Every structure is written in C-alpha cells, then in structure tokens.
Structure 1
Amino acid sequence: MPAQPTAQSAPTKYTRTPTGFLMVLRQGDNVLQELEQLAVRENIPSASLTGLGFGHPTFGFWNAQTKTYAPKAFRDLELASLTGSIAWKDGKPALHLHGVGADKEFKPVGGHLLALEVGTGSVELTIVVHDQKLSRAEDPRNGATVLGVE
C-alpha cells in the first residue's frame, strides 16, 4: 500500500484491493499517464478497468480508411462511464479506453479516449488485474491495434 500523504506531499492516488487497485485522480491529473505509470510501477500483466468522474476528454473516432482517429476535445463533462483495458505493446503499457460523458445540458458524447484530464472533482477508477500478460498488435486487415488473448 502506498505511503499516506504528509502535509507537504501530494495525495495518495491509489490503493490495493483484493482484485487489483482503486485509483482516485484529482483535478489536473492526466488519467492516461497515471494509468501507464501504475501499470509499470506495479508490474500489472493486464487489467480491465471501469471509472467515472469529471473531466476534459478528447474522444476519437476510428477511420479505417486512413487508419487514424478523428479527434474531438470537450471541456467539463461528467463521465457517466469509462471502461477499458491495460495490456502491453513494445515493452510499454498499451491502454484501450472508451467513455461516455454528458455536458450540463445532459447531451451525451463518447468514443475512444485519446486523452483525459481530470476536471473539477475527481475520476475514480477500479482496476481489476489479470494473471496473464496480454499484448496488443496491429491487425493487418484493418491497421487497428487489437488485444491478443493467446
């Protein structure tokens, strides 16, 4: 379990659970970066995750013809759902995250998460660790990076 914060240190961002970790990120935190650091620090073989909170996401929609994501950034959304997985590619954590959020008029938006900064409040993530190390590789049929389960 990480050390408890002192008056001079930053708050503790995660704790162990029976199935993995509970991570609570605060305003200004980079969610993808924090998840990548957790995967390396705790040597996570692979994991599934869910979350919710407030943030400034950049969603992407996969264009199979160009093999790129068309990005769109949003501010001040309440994340109703965040789900994804952690695996490995080329020796580094490879995240695959999707989310749905709504603005103050309750208009929902969502898609593949390319970036996510925590807004007001926090983002809470439940990370369920798997025993098997999983990796991602490019699917030659469509250029997408997909999870291998062999």
Structure 2
Amino acid sequence: MKSRLVSEVDGLRTFVLVMDKEDEAVERLTAFSREHRVTGAGLTGVGACRDATLGYFDAERKEYLDIPVGGQSEVLSLIGDIADDDGRPALHAHVVLGHRDGSTAGGHLQRLTVWPTLELVITETPAHLRKRVDPDVGLALIALDATDGPGGS
C-alpha cells in the first residue's frame, strides 16, 4: 500500500491511499489509522476486489451477520468513517460491490481482498463532528455532546 498526505489545513489532514493486489483493506486501513493517529475522519473509495465479506447489522442481536461475496467484483462505492474507540481507530464503512452481470451486493465492510487496486481518500473531521462508539447500540455514532463546536448547544 502506498499513501500520501495531500492536504493539511488548520490541523485537519487529507490522505490518499492506494492499496496493492492482495492487501486486506480493513487490516490496512486500521493499521494506517493507528500509525497516523487518525481517530475521526470520513473516507471514500473505489477499486476492485477478488473476494469480500460484507455484513448486515442485526439490531436485535447487536451484531453483523456475514454476507460472503466470492469472485472478482468492482468496488462501486465505499463510504464510511473512522471513529475513536477509547483512543483506538474504529472503522465503520459500507460498500457496494458490482458483479460481471451488473448485479450488486452491499453491506458493512468486514473484509475485502484487493485485486488489483483500491483507491481511498481519508479526510479528518473537526472535533465537533467526531464519532464515538455507543456501547448500547454497538456502533459508532456522531456524539454532538462530546465536544462544543460551532452551532452546538
């Protein structure tokens, strides 16, 4: 994986990541976020993969049910965020994968093996838009009361 800091304005950074063949996207993103101390950011991406595991959040069980996706797919859309979970980055991303016949599969990104590339943009968010993991729900949610910010009350 290659990465580059492409912008830094008022302490908020924007990175571009280009993943290589066989990179496991979730592992790479989590390691990158930890290494660069990214604990609040949005992310987008496009590319392709040779297999993936997506998830569907079961609200009653408060856990993701696996959706295995085998074979080559286009990453049509990857969007999500990186939140703070007790000082550690927590990735929450959704992905839509396109298949050869034009059908799609979508869900929470749990695992994705890149083939041949995955291009991502990570943009840090200001402190007043940071997410925190809500233990009652089990998901990262925007915590408007976590810090004061513009327009906050």
TM-score class, shorter-chain normalisation, is 0.7 to 0.9
- 1:136 corresponds to which of 128, 132, 138: 132
SS of equivalent residue, structure 1 residue 117: strand
Partner letter of residue 130 of structure 1?
A: T
CA deviation after TM superposition for structure 1 residue 90, in Å: 2.6
Given that 2:97 and 2:106 are in contact with CA atoms closer than 8 Å, whether structure 1 keeps it comes out as yes
1-side partners of 2:36 and 2:126: how far apart?
Answer: 13
Which residue of 26, 47, 50 corresponds with 2:20?
26
CA shift for structure 1 position 139: 5.0
| Superposition map of 1:94-113 within 5 A | 94-113=90-109
1:30-64 per-position Cα deviation (integer Å, ceiling 9, x unaligned): 11111111112112241100001111221111111
**For 1:113 and 1:48, how far apart are their aligned partners in 2?**
14
1:62 aligns with 2:57: yes
Q: Distance in 2 between matches of 1:137 and 1:45?
A: 12
Aligned residues: 136
Task: Give the secondary structure class of the aligned counterpart of 1:66.
Answer: coil
Deviations 1:59-108 (A, max 9, x none): 11111111111101112110100000011113321010001011111111
Q: What is the TM-score with the length of structure 2 in the denominator?
A: 0.81
Q: Is the 8 A contact 2:39 2:87 kept in 1?
A: no
Taking only aligned residues, the RMSD between alpha carbons, in angstroms, comes to 1.7
Give distance in 2, aligned partners of 1:66 and 1:44. 29
Structure 1: tracts of 5 or more residues without a match: 1-11
Q: 5+ unaligned residues in a row in structure 2: which ranges?
A: 8-12, 147-153
Letter in 2 for 1:144: G
Could you list the structure 1 runs, at least 4 aligned residues long, displaced by more than 6 angstroms after superposition: none
Percent of pairs identical after alignment?
A: 29
CA distance in 2, matches of 1:96, 1:58: 14
Contact 1:30/1:118 (CA < 8 Å) preserved in 2?
yes
Cα separation, 2, equivalents of 1:90 and 1:45: 10
Q: Does 1:37 align with 2:31?
A: yes
Displacement after TM superposition at 1:135 (Å): 4.3
Deviates further, 37-46 or 75-84: 37-46
SS of match in other structure, 2:127 = coil
Relative to structure 2, which stretch is displaced further, 99-108 or 38-47? 38-47
